[in-house]
Homo-oligomer: A and B are copies of this chain.
Amino acid sequence: MVNQRMLGLGTARSVIRELFEYGKQRSAVVGAENVFDFSLGNPSVPAPDAINETAIRILKEQPELIHCYTSAQGDAAARQRFADSLNRRFQGSYTADQFYITVGAAASLCCVFNGLACPGDEFIVFAPYFPEYKVFIEGAGAKMVLIPPEIEHFQIDFAAFEAALTPHTKGVVVNTPNNPSGVVYSRETLEKLADILRAKEAEYGHPIYLISDEPYREILFGGAEPIWIPHLYGDTIVCYSFSKSLSLPGERLGYVLVPGQVTDAKQVYAAVAGAGRSLGYVNAPSLFQQVVSQCCDLTSDLSVYEENCKLLVPALREMGYHVAEPGGAFYLFLRTLEPDDVAFSERAKQFDLLLVPGSGFGAPGHVRLAYCVQTEMIRRALPKFKALAESYW
């Protein structure tokens, strides 16, 4: 008898994987160019040339040193580069010892949830949400409390949020720009969130940590600059990954930043590091600690995501779809043309459109469209979306 929770996680049906497999089978029948797979959130633009050039340079210059263990929190010079970069961009005064380098965003989140969670603790998550949050929070022995989506603008349903806060609330997770909606929280939303949390901290007499999961921080449209959430709320812990900004999802590199202003900052940092130890993260990959930190002010050419978005949104709205206004990332969230999003996703397959049902993200009645694909594929997909809409007339 193995652990039943782990067995369940290891054998769980993955809607996204099944769509992807279906797409491969269907491609064999009708040709890959006739299957429009919007299921996967894989960056479609390559890493900057500087990434591979830097890796090659380091491998040639330090062939004997680069593969050694680093300290568990990450190489000191790499952490200093991350601090310097954020200080330049956001007028911060972060220090290297506030950074804990991780094997990507999932590891960042797991270290934070495991570091913070005490028996009985709850973490609040806003739908629509990345479903692995539930896996990670429950893996840390805590409870996830889900706030239903505010489906007009996909900001926050503050009435539901306030009703969900209790003295057991250890933290709140935000993810903006959002997977799966592509929506960016407004400054007004974030300030209101901060005000409520501050009031509740005072009422309960203990900190409520805002865990800001920011893998899409750099993918913002219309020239917008990211809102730096630690400036709005003192008890913010930042979880970052370079998977999307540098198109390096396979290399697994990110960090946790516990700013000095956070309540019990040193204890929180130590607990995050202790969680990293307990979960078996010895250190983040040594070569990519150097490569990424030396390139951390760069991004891939992210402009194609905005181009794709500008092509899709007006066209889809013209066809009669309701689309939440996207502000970044590479996702659109479409209201489905029938209440059952799984049935809608099935119907879309008849038009060779692969769209992920929103139920899995806590937002039934919607589908996610990952448009990190070739622009010309989108152009060819538009008539299919039109035909799908017309099938509901």
* A interface list, Cβ under 8 A from B: 1-12, 42, 46-47, 49, 51-52, 55-56, 59-60, 63-64, 66-70, 103-104, 106-107, 109-111, 114-118, 132, 135-136, 138-140, 206, 247-252, 264, 267-275, 277-288
Q: Tell me the bound Cα distance from A132 to B286 in angstroms.
A: 21
List 6 additional A-B contacts (Cβ < 8 Å) besides A47-B64, A132-B277, A138-B278.
Answer: A2-B267, A9-B273, A9-B277, A110-B279, A251-B285, A251-B286
Can you list 15 A-B pairs, Cβ within 8 angstroms, ordered by A? A3-B114, A3-B117, A6-B115, A10-B272, A10-B273, A46-B64, A47-B63, A47-B67, A69-B250, A103-B103, A109-B280, A111-B280, A136-B280, A139-B279, A252-B285
Whether A11 pairs with B270 at a CB distance below 8 angstroms is yes
In the bound complex, residues from chain B placing their C-beta under 8 Å from that of A56 are 56, 59-60
Q: Tell me the bound Cα distance from A12 to B72 in angstroms.
A: 13
Within the oligomer, what is the number of copies of this chain? 2
Whether B116 pairs with A3 at a CB distance below 8 angstroms is yes
Q: Which of A3, A47, A286 has the most CB of B within 10 A?
A: A3
Nearest Cβ in chain B — how far from A266, in angstroms? Answer: 9
In the bound complex, residues from chain B placing their C-beta under 8 Å from that of A42 are 68-69
Nearest Cβ in chain B — how far from A162, in angstroms? Answer: 23
Whether B10 pairs with A274 at a CB distance below 8 angstroms is yes
Q: Tell me the bound Cα distance from A347 to B270 in angstroms.
A: 32
Q: Tell me the bound Cα distance from A104 to B285 in angstroms.
A: 10
Known: A118-B4, A277-B9. A282 touches B252 (CB 8 A): yes
Q: Tell me the bound Cα distance from A90 to B50 in angstroms.
A: 42
Whether A66 pairs with B250 at a CB distance below 8 angstroms is yes
Q: Tell me the bound Cα distance from A64 to B10 in angstroms.
A: 29
Pick the contact of A7: B67, B104, B270 (CB < 8 A).
B270
In the A-B complex, the 7 residue pairs with the smallest Cβ-Cβ separation, listed nearest first, are: A250-B286, A10-B274, A9-B274, A110-B280, A10-B270, A6-B274, A2-B271
Q: Tell me the bound Cα distance from A274 to B270 in angstroms.
A: 27
In the bound complex, residues from chain B placing their C-beta under 8 Å from that of A103 are 103, 252, 280-282, 285
Q: Tell me the bound Cα distance from A103 to B110 in angstroms.
A: 15
Whether B288 pairs with A285 at a CB distance below 8 angstroms is yes
Nearest Cβ in chain B — how far from A39, in angstroms? Answer: 13
In the bound complex, residues from chain B placing their C-beta under 8 Å from that of A3 are 114-118, 140, 271, 274-275
Q: Tell me the bound Cα distance from A270 to B8 in angstroms.
A: 8
Whether B63 pairs with A46 at a CB distance below 8 angstroms is yes
Whether B118 pairs with A1 at a CB distance below 8 angstroms is yes
Pick the contact of A274: B1, B7, B51, B282 (CB < 8 A).
B7
Whether A68 pairs with B249 at a CB distance below 8 angstroms is yes
Q: Tell me the bound Cα distance from A359 to B251 in angstroms.
A: 38
Known: A42-B68, A60-B56. A285 touches B282 (CB 8 A): no
Whether B251 pairs with A135 at a CB distance below 8 angstroms is no
Nearest Cβ in chain B — how far from A3, in angstroms? Answer: 6
Pick the contact of A250: B68, B135, B247, B250 (CB < 8 A).
B68
Whether A206 pairs with B279 at a CB distance below 8 angstroms is no
Nearest Cβ in chain B — how far from A12, in angstroms? Answer: 8
Q: Tell me the bound Cα distance from A274 to B138 in angstroms.
A: 13
In the bound complex, residues from chain B placing their C-beta under 8 Å from that of A46 are 63-64
Nearest Cβ in chain B — how far from A175, in angstroms? Answer: 15
Q: Tell me the bound Cα distance from A247 to B2 in angstroms.
A: 33
A290 nearest in chain B by CB position:
B250
